[in-house]
Structures are given as C-alpha cells and as structure tokens.
Amino acid sequence: MTVKDIVNGPEWAVWVVFVVLAVISIVLLSGHGENLIAGYNTATEEEKTRYDTKRLCRVVGGGFTVIAITALIIGIWGDVLPASFSYVLLGVILAAVAAIGVLAHTVCKKNDE
C-alpha cells in the first residue's frame, strides 16, 4: 500500500493544494499578505504594532513553504512512498505549524517594549 492509496479524493486535488500553498508562500515570503495571517488580520492596531510585520510574514511564509513542499512530495512520489510514510508527512506538517506559532510569538515581536 502506498501514500497514493490512502489519499481520499482525486489526484488533481493534491496539485491544487500545492499550487494554492505555493502562491500563498510566495506572497508571504515577499513580506506582503499580512491580511492572510489568521489572528493578525483581526488584531487591534495596538496589538499589530507589537509585531514586525515583514518578519511575521516571512516566518509564516516559510512554514507554508514547508507544507507546500510536503504536498509536492505527495503529488510526485505518492505512488512510490509506503503508506506508513504518511505519518512522517503529518509530523512534518504539525512541526511546521508548531514552529510558526512559536516563532510568531517570539522572533516576530518587536524588542522596543
């Protein structure tokens, strides 16, 4: 059994997910798209001033890049990788999300407080 066997849905859906994540990653890595970041777009102006917006965008964009590459791996090598490798891919995604959360609240805060 391979990863492709356990993916529910059409094969093109993985490619759509990859393209969407890649576009979001590019926008965020360019230092733009802060409105795409959940929590930041609903924060008050006072809360927003506590964060370095460009750094926050780049941290979230880096995390999205890792997740997009994971989707790319599934799309390209899904029919070769064993199904148990899906746990590794899930671990990579969860680690990326955790890293985004930690870095967003540490590295991205301004030091002038």
- Residue 37 CB: number of other CB atoms within 10 A? 20
Two tokens, residue 52: 């370095």
Is residue 113 pLDDT above 70, yes or no? Answer: no
pLDDT at 112: 63
Tell me what the mean pLDDT of segment 98-113 comes to. Answer: 88
Two tokens, residue 53: 């917006």
pLDDT at 24: 96
Torsion of CA 72, 73, 75, 81, to 10 degrees: -170
pLDDT digits (tens, 9 = 90+) for 10-41: 889 999 999 999 999 999 999 999 999 988 88
pLDDT at 53: 93
> What is the DSSP secondary-structure string of 50-90?
TB-HHHHHHHHHHHHHHHHHHHHHHHHHTTTSBTTHHHHHH
- Residue 35 CB: number of other CB atoms within 10 A? 8
pLDDT digits (tens, 9 = 90+) for 56-96: 999 999 999 999 999 999 889 988 999 999 999 999 999 99
